[in-house]
Structure 1
Amino acid sequence: MESTTTVEKIVRRELPAAIVYESDHVIAFADHDPINFGHLLIAPVKPYKTFLDLPEAVFLEIHEVARDLYRRLEAKYQPDGIGFMQNNGTYPDFNALDHYHLHIFPRFKGDQFGWKTSELGLQSVEALQASLTDL
């Protein structure tokens, strides 16, 4: 039996969500565990798993919605910045919803959200170039 993703349950109104945009192909709603108020997820209505699985029209609509929501978030929250994040990979390690989604969220100085890097440390341009050989 095929599982139903959280996004599909939201689309079918089986789970409550604060929806800010919905069309036949794309839905945007508030993250239930937000980085800041205004943290939204933009997702296809159908359960595409990765960035590469998205049909071109859905990909374009997601980015049109992101641009519109960016403007709306700026106007409402006057943030210091806007963040975007999108994860692909194995469920649940790298994609907790098992369904493509793009995060967009207001950023404020001191909001504690940050980027944690690996133990690689700063790299020379030469080392970075070598790591990209044959890419």
Structure 2
Amino acid sequence: MVKSKTIVEQIVSRDIEAVIVYESEHVIAFADHDPINFGHILICPTQPYGSFIDLPVAVHDEIQHVARDLYHKIVNKFNPDGMSFIQNNGTCNELSHYHLHIFPRFDGDQFGWVSSELGIQSIDVLRESLAGL
């Protein structure tokens, strides 16, 4: 059975159109088609690594370099109040292909973080939960 290409692989091979802002042999960056705000970019390896831990060090390093460069460009173009970086792994990664989101934030943009029902924890509970790391 032939494995189907990820969306990112389809963008790399130009099977899907995207607004590409950076491309090399190992990394591609393009506009998110459903942006949080204008300037929302996905930075991805050109190969389908599934998670952060799967990335070769050189690819990881290039992604970080591209993120830093795009950070400056996004700030200069959009003058945001802040910037967010988000990277999901496992079943939280809807693309099944490593990708780092970088996007400008603006006061009142309504993007938010929804926490679980755990609530605020004491230092002792946090210490115990992380024992052995």
Which TM-score bucket, shorter chain as reference? over 0.9
Q: Which residue of 2 aligns with 1:10?
A: 11
Secondary structure, aligned partner of 2:84: strand
Gaps in structure 1 of 5+ consecutive residues: none
User: CA–CA distance in 2 between the matches of 1:19 and 1:96?
Assistant: 20
TM-score (norm 1): 0.97
1:124 equivalent in alignment to 2:88 = no
1:107 equivalent in alignment to 2:105 = yes
User: CA–CA distance in 2 between the matches of 1:114 and 1:54?
Assistant: 28
Q: Which residue of 2 aligns with 1:47?
A: 48
Which deviations, in whole Å up to 9, do the C-alpha atoms of 1:53-103 show, x marking residues without a partner?
00010000000000000000000000000000000002xxx1111100000
List structure 1 segments (4+ residues) > 3 angstroms apart after TM superposition. Answer: none
Identity of aligned residues (%): 64
Secondary structure, aligned partner of 2:5: coil
Q: What is the aligned-residue RMSD (CA, Å)?
A: 0.5
TM-score (norm 2): 0.98
Gaps in structure 2 of 5+ consecutive residues: none
